[in-house]
Structure 1
């Protein structure tokens, strides 16, 4: 049960409280929602451009990336229906609207929110790891057990922070970590492995780099064929456990190459 007495439910194999679900509803179904509108169209329609209202969570929900050259206009459901159909179809993602504010409507909305979060994603396998295996993991990755199978409190925490948090770096779990800190940590705390080395070894850090050599993603093996990673910095992206094979499939992006490091 959550502190309010509401039952806890599972999302992607992870326990989520009713309070968390209500917060997710607020981020996916705000009463006024952001629409990306060409500035000339916004002017013609008399719509205000208010990009300052976009929080990190709303940016991740509505995929408001690379839209700085357009207006961000906030509309309720009725106003949104008045937009040209072509403009509604051109939005970065579809908008979900609240069913109402009574208990049954909220319950329906929460089911839709859960469906939004789980769509196309793999569940976390953290419960498949035995207590004996966790004891071995704790000795190498002292922070991994605490963060495995958890959703972040908000947008921001990313894959780099998850790897460092698993390795026991204080404060990394909640940090929107940039490339420089993890690059420094890799130089100081790991050694690069031969290309043919195993993916499954406990403490093997997987690093994906783009064609320019910049690090784009990171994860860490827990041994026994499992790995820990956080797919993105979005509020809907949990730190989860997958098999190493699932990890490699999930992180595969054209042009991006993976190398392995081992903790010192």
Structure 2
């Protein structure tokens, strides 16, 4: 591969799985996160670099891109993966300060990533791949809180408008919408309602109730493979696309599958 990739929120979960997979395929990976110990340890283990980055702060994101250019002289792949869950509860009682905090990370953070990655890629004249992490909650109602769903659907719109502008520079912009990955974020949400469940328990629940592939839950590796696909030259004609990694859950309902018997 030999490409230079930046991954925000790369210290754990989907970001960490993707960082590892990219490195295994020959990429030089920069992990940007606020989880310094986890991020630095992972970066060392894959021969990459780590930098502290709060994506809500534009200058932090700009510093990450500058590190890529200083380290390897180029930026080929930008994965805007960092995100937070946000408040739950009724829309009638939403704490707007907490909503704005979600938007500052999930939406502005992605915007900062696209903006500064685009600058570097346009300057290089070699194109590139920008990937933004959305969610199944952007596709179907009822899979996330109001603020979270709002932020994740905004990402898909921003991906498409960015692809419209940047295509002339051979920069592809796509998004990924995972569903049911037992990340720390999702497991914590399940524990609020179901008690002390494990990631394996969550994966089993998703496989039984939230997937057309009955018994098959999602994994961080599934999403990492989707990111690798969109980052590769083999997807050179794919842009403005939202790749849904959900076991078919948001596309079809199998409650009446008896009609096919």
TM-score, normalization by structure 1: 0.24
- Pick the structure with more strand per residue: 1
Larger Rg over CA atoms: 1
The structure with the greater share of residues assigned to helix is 2
TM-score for the superposition, normalised by structure 2: 0.24
